Amino acid sequence: HRHGPLDPLLATVIRTTPARTGPDALARRLAALDREQFRHDLRHGALPAVQGQLERDEPPPWDEILAMLDEGGLPLRTRDQLAAHPHCPEPVAAALLDRDSEHTSVPLALVRRSRAYALLALDRLPVVPDWMRDGDLRASLTWSRHALDAGTLTPADLFTRGRPAHAVLRLIEEFPRDLGELSGLLAAEVRRHRTDSPDAWAVTAALLDDFAGTLPELLGTAAAATAPIFGRGNGN
């Protein structure tokens, strides 16, 4: 039996449901009451009650949960619980990631589970949390490292889709042994764009801190900025 602010309504529901309507009507009213209690528990972060609901045999009301996420009405602890649910659907996972771009627990709970979840995170979050940008990069709290370790993302994924560019470089610098393939991809891209000239490196360095795109996009921008003027626009 769960206790909460709506529990006193249970006796009222039973008392006011006409006997002639039969057990089905009572069951429907009790189910509606239970859904309302669950919404209340979600909004107020009643963790044991929410966990009990999520562990039931029937699936949670994901459509309602998604609507509540879109409204921004769920506390952080509740969002963590939803992300940890083994059958959290992709639309809910995407909403959780959108809502928690600065939070670590949600992507850590999702990205090891499947490539689909990891790609959702890759397209929404910086590969290194912003709060670690200027401090120690802790592998245990870096969701992109977890995804690489789990095999749900590849170094090529990080290189081609990881943002921002400076965060991908930070990963290469911090974990050179583990991310040798990523270093190789970077070297090949530098050769492809011919951005190994002093001018191109200077432009790359000037853009790096504030560049929001990927490493290939950064190198392409630097290459375009330092290309010979006579060669621009005519394909020569």
Does any domain span residue 23? no
41-98 pLDDT per residue, tens: 787 777 787 787 788 777 888 998 999 898 887 888 889 899 999 999 999 999 999 9
Provide the residue range defining the domain that includes 169: 154-236
148-190 pLDDT per residue, tens: 999 999 999 999 999 999 999 999 998 888 889 999 999 999 8
Of 27-31, 82-86, 92-96, 219-223, the poorest mean pLDDT is in 27-31
CA gap 83, 87 in Å, rounded: 9
Q: Which of the two residues, 8 and 101, has the higher pLDDT score? A: 101
pLDDT over 90 at 219, yes or no: yes
pLDDT over 90 at 197, yes or no: no
**Could you tell me which residues come within 8 angstroms of residue 79 by beta carbon, excluding any fewer than 6 positions away?**
69, 96, 99, 100, 103, 106
Does any domain span residue 160? yes
* Helix runs in the chain, H state only: 9-16, 22-44, 47-54, 62-70, 76-84, 90-99, 105-111, 115-122, 143-150, 155-161, 165-174, 180-193, 198-208, 215-226
Specify the number of domains making up the chain: 1
Contact of 75 with 45, CB cutoff 8 Å = yes
Does any domain span residue 27? no
- Residues 196-205 have a mean pLDDT of 86
* pLDDT for the residue 206: 95
Does any domain span residue 179? yes
Tell me how many degrees the CA angle 72-59-17 measures, rounded to the nearest 5: 90
Does any domain span residue 218? yes
Orientation of helix 22-44 relative to helix 62-70, angle to 10°: 40
Does any domain span residue 69? no
103-132 pLDDT per residue, tens: 788 999 999 999 999 999 999 999 998 878
pLDDT over 90 at 1, yes or no: no
Sign of the alpha-carbon dihedral angle for 54, 56, 57, 59:
negative
Does any domain span residue 6? no
Does any domain span residue 233? yes
